[in-house]
Chain A
Amino acid sequence: MADKNGFFDLSKTTLSRRTALKGIAAGAGLALAPGFVRYSQAQSSAPIRIGFQSHRTGIGAAYGRWYEKTSAAAVKAINDAGGIGGRKVELVIEDDGTDPARGAEVVNKFAKQHKTDIVFGTLFSHVVIGSAPAAGENKIPYFVVSEGHHVASTKLNRYVFQPGITDVKSQIQSMAPWIAANAGKKVTQIFPDFAFGYDHRDYLPPALKAQGGEVIAQIAIPPTESSFTKYFPQIPAETEVIYHVMVGPAVLTFVKELGEFYGSQRPQLFGFIDSLEAVDINSPGLEFLDGSHFWEGSPRYAQPDDSAAQKAYRAAVGIDDNGAAVGDAKDVSTAAHMFGCWETLYVVKKAMEDAGYKGPEDRAKLVEATEALKEFAEGPEHPQGPKTFNGKIHQCFGIQNISKVEGGKLKVVHKTKIEDGLYEPEGDYTTQAL
């Protein structure tokens, strides 16, 4: 095919000496521009810069938006109260496209170009796993809010922490007794075919077995799937409980097609709210979920026994009693997860102040100070509930909520205890060199 207009003929664009000189001059000017001036005065006056690895685009975009809102609210609250060690906090946001390769690039960019103090905020497990090596190489602390078991598995590295949200293994272990006792003993699992789904695949069967239950089928679904009916024949007829944990934009279809497939003759349903984060529970087609149960990290709907801290947190982030943005009932939040951003930032504040953190040269001290943390009391800094922290596996442990869909709302019917979710550590990050 002829290139008649010469779109690809690079020889046409000649570079004159004058153009080249202009370019060099412009580049030099940019480098001298105010934004590039390093703080040469005392470090104490410069803000603490937190690199926020955000899922602004890609399949995690709905989460990314709410993670940003929550983090901005937490930073505002921290700054209004005097910042961290008297210094203001500033978020530097980069989009990772919910993509592991870009995630690693973003971590490198934070470490080398923005020179942020830490990296923070990642949710999707494959992005965390893809980015963690970059954090280790740059020796920059990486605080994730991901829920996966990968941090606690000690398979990542010493710079990765998850102090603001519990991990899947602990969640499953603490909820399995309730499932076996209240929903049913013969369970079919439906989960996404990547790391986060595998946590569920691997940890539910033993947890359920310990309670006299049994996983009779496991159905992995590719994360990009858009139609699900074709998987439903794999659900054995004797299934008492369908345990579903799906992520991504097609989850509504999943529930609707399940409804069409089963009608009213359905098994019990137990799901992770991950399936329906940022989705209105009263959307058309979701009537099918009425009476089913969900895990929630933090309840989406305001509960009658909410603490003052929980109420203050909801007001600060800007969500109403239905878990939607104040002023826009259709803009439903990712309430079950995003509290983790708020709590993680307060953990960072505590650890930085404990370490007497001054700047990037103190990153190792920050890691050790974080590892030394033991527990976080419930309160304005930890509105979801009390937590303990295991410095060896860099993971916190807390309570879980099981909620029932009732009258178009999620009502918490059971809260687990911290002890229910504790397990033997699988390793020890503190033995790794800093």
Chain B
Amino acid sequence: MRFGPHLLLAALEGLVTSAVLALTALGLSLVFGVMRVVNVAHGEFFMLGAVLAWAVSTAISGHPAIGFVAALVIAPLLVGLVALLAERLVLRRLNYNPEGTIVATIGMLYIIQQLALTFYGPEARPVEPPFSYRILLPWFGYSGYKLAVVAASAILLVITWLVLTRTKIGLIMRATQYDRETAQAFGIPVERVYAGVFAVGAMLAAIAAVLIVPISQAHYLMGQDPLLLSFIVVIIGGLGSLRGTVVAAVLIGLSDGIVSMFFSPTLAKIIATLIVAMVLVFRPQGLFGATSR
């Protein structure tokens, strides 16, 4: 294959990675930004979203699009509910203590993973895409659904941004993020904000998973890679910065797509990790993160 088409394919693949990564990392970043909780179980919420998408779409017969749309609505809601329960039963009882919550979310990671293994099983199961249109380019074919994933993710990111910057809920969230005690003094129900943010963070991961599951498959170990990549993205972008998260996701996704296609996937991972190290050394708050107060 010549250089031009090759690069195009690499960029397309990178964009799909970026799109899903941006959504997942945004959830992680939101939870850290507002709650100062490092949610190690974030990848498992992603996995749970995919597994539930499989369950919902197989339970509904008819055109695959119906099952998929149902999954896109039901799976994130259920995952949000699980996250809400986890927040109520675990995180709140730990007073959102930073060290305590890390250990607790590691525990949640294993519990969710093993429950999935027990009730869903070790197989990788496919979900039918809502439509299977193959875009025929002169040099190669490409999945139309993959491009739809990129578009859907972009729309969701814009919606999240609008909610955060233009609505009262967003204002309350930002106020809580900026200074918890003052927000509380002004009558903001901080605990309810925390619960909501934790649920929304998990739901963003679940939505990303539902979008990706027709491309890859639902598998009980699928949460590990997104977790690692999300951390990389969030560290580079700056914890708690929405803009930074999106920019870093596109950066990591595209470099992963292009480097792994022209060189090797291992080199792509090396570069991503190296960028993280460089950012931590020279700009510990991340590219767009504010310095800690």
Chain A interface residues toward B at CB < 8 A? 1, 3-5, 7-8, 57-59, 61-62, 64-65, 222, 224-227, 229-233, 237, 249-253, 256-257, 260-263, 278-279, 283-285
Contact = CB atoms under 8 A, between A and B. Distances in A.
A280 B254 CA distance: 33
Q: For chain B, what secondary structure do more than half of its interface residues adopt (helix, strand, loop), or is it mixed?
A: mixed
Interface in B114-138: 117, 121-124, 126, 128-129, 132, 134, 136
Nearest to A286: B126
Interface stretch (B24-32, B75-83, B90-98, B157-165): B90-98
B34 to A, nearest CB: 17
Nearest to B123: A62
A1 B95 CA distance: 13
Interface in B264-284: 265-266
B95 A5 contact: yes
Contact of B265 (A1, A222, A252, A278): A222
Contact of B217 (A224, A229, A231, A253): A253
A4 B95 contact: yes
5 contacts: A8-B99, A61-B121, A250-B219, A263-B136, A284-B128
B99 A253 contact: no
B124 A252 contact: yes
Contacts of A284: 64, 126, 128-129
A231 B140 CA distance: 13
B62 interface: no
Contact of A5 (B9, B97, B117, B219): B97
Contact of B215 (A58, A249, A253, A279): A253
A222 B9 CA distance: 20
Contacts, number: 101
Q: For chain A, what secondary structure do more than half of its interface residues adopt (helix, strand, loop), or is it mixed?
A: loop
Interface residues of B, number: 43
Contacts of A232: 140
Nearest to A248: B124
B185 interface: no
Contacts of B64: 284
A263 to B, nearest CB: 5
Given A7-B94, A229-B9, 4 more contacts: A252-B124, A256-B215, A260-B141, A263-B134
A222 B225 CA distance: 13
Which of B16, B95, B136, B141: most chain A CB closer than 10 A?
Answer: B141
A295 B56 CA distance: 34
A285 B126 contact: yes
A257 B215 CA distance: 8
A273 B260 CA distance: 27
